[in-house]
Structure 1
């Protein structure tokens, strides 16, 4: 399940408990530190920027509250915008969350799309893809080496001590579409996390683009059973349903309806 998670909706710990009780396997939380008031960057799907984008919780804080009240639910960022983040701090946060949750963290990453947000972080949008690649390589060093170091064009540090280590190397889920994203999955692993297509007829071509890579489809509309059937038939690893920003009572009612999907596909995550 993917939800924007803001201060105006259901609390992350309440949503996480409700998801686990109903048999959902994972909860993904996105990241936007802010949205510049006078930005001219358009909302990718079109139309005005949804209010929720101005109010999202920090994903690692939100997922920590979710970890505290669940035992099996997988906890993912969907996505963390790594080029805007300090890699040493990100290594500390991800490893801490994975260890405190008992190895349930999934690191969803992307290069980001809001270029004005990036510029406020001092990031040149033209180099964000290259920076992301180096950060992923550096994170694996920090997660796995007692004395870690990394020397690249955009990331350069070490040797350093960085503890705690995660329970296991968190699976990396690469958000986005296109050849550059797919090349990044092949280089750094582990899972491609593309947005859902609108037409079920387009599913086979999207899956074919992966050429055997594991796929966890993102933002699947829960009401479109034809689309869900097409992805299940195509053998994708996970379908992450989109949950609108709603008051708690309406969220819980919607989850009750969505549990019917779990009953339809008992062998699918």
Structure 2
């Protein structure tokens, strides 16, 4: 079982470069960073993880800038967004950022995406709760065209892009063309699994509860559109390690689990990281 870590890196937490080096040295497989551009003060949308909202949400570093720093000082550990809010991002610029990161890191980037729970944050970017899922779908599809085609075009309801060139291409090959793996985060449900089946490469269940029961539905969604269920990667996210839990995930065919690190200064983070180290390679 490969083990990755996720953390809210902020202006008050451990330094990203030091963390990246320490994670790779201990043999962890990946580092995943969340995204919030800002947090509106209205708090009209209650946080699903409970209120008051933790300070780290309003202080988190930009994941793409930070991944660039971290890949520059590591050789093996993969980097991913956990998760990126594509309904708040320009797809052409984001496709360029991700392709560049994958190119310069020699193919070590995974794009974890979500629809976003903070509706005020989304609205500040011109989005809406009603359209966010459709917008995310089209933006991913447009980005995949930019990554995978020499001359790419996309015309949907929310994204319009005439034929264009865009390099660099990602180093990785995904389903027969240049790209990066796209994992969709969120609670199990028919729309989420339809989207994974259409444009995704896997699922990020937050917390991992109910994964076993839901995997059959994910596989059925893939089979419905002619995809082999074995193509889908399932990465339980934000888990606190327990050998029984990790063994259970492994019995389901899950090969990587992502553990939660505290958004904290160096000594506090490394103490937790060291407590996870005995599970690496298990």
Asked whether the two chains share a fold, i.e. TM above 0.5, the reply is: yes
TM alignment of 1:19-38, pairs within 5 A = 19-38=23-42
For structure 2, the residue ranges without an aligned partner over 5 or more in a row are 173-178, 220-228
Which aligned pairs between 1:134-213 and structure 2 lie closer than 5 A? Answer: 134-168=138-172, 169-177=179-187, 178-198=189-209, 202-211=210-219, 212=229, 213=232
Take 1:261 and 1:89, find their aligned partners in 2: how far apart are those partners? 38
CA distance in 2 between partners of 1:34 and 1:76 (Å): 20
Correspondence for 1:218 among 234, 237, 240: 237
Counterpart CA distance in 1 for 2:213 and 2:202 is 17
Aligned-pair distance for 1:228? 2.5
Shift of 1:182: 1.0
- Give distance in 2, aligned partners of 1:225 and 1:40: 39
- Using the alignment, how far apart are the partners of 1:106 and 1:197 within structure 2? 19
TM-score, normalization by structure 2: 0.88
1:28-67 correspondence to structure 2 within 5 Å: 28-67=32-71
In 1, Cα distance between the equivalents of 2:203 and 2:16? Answer: 25
What runs of 5+ residues in structure 1 fail to find an aligned partner?
A: none
Aligned residue in 2 for 1:3: 7
Counting matched residue pairs gives 260
Deviation of 1:203 after TM superposition, in Å, equals: 4.4
Q: Which 10-residue stretch deviates more, 92-101 or 203-212? A: 203-212
- Tell me which residue corresponds to 2:279: 261
Partner residue in 2 for 1:232: 250
Counterpart Cα distance in 2 of 1:79 and 1:135:
15
Q: Which has the larger displacement, 69-78 or 236-245?
A: 236-245
Q: Give the drift of 1:214.
A: 2.4
1:17 and 2:21 are equivalent in the alignment? yes
Instruction: Note if contact 2:208-2:236 (Cα within 8 Å) is conserved in structure 1.
Output: no
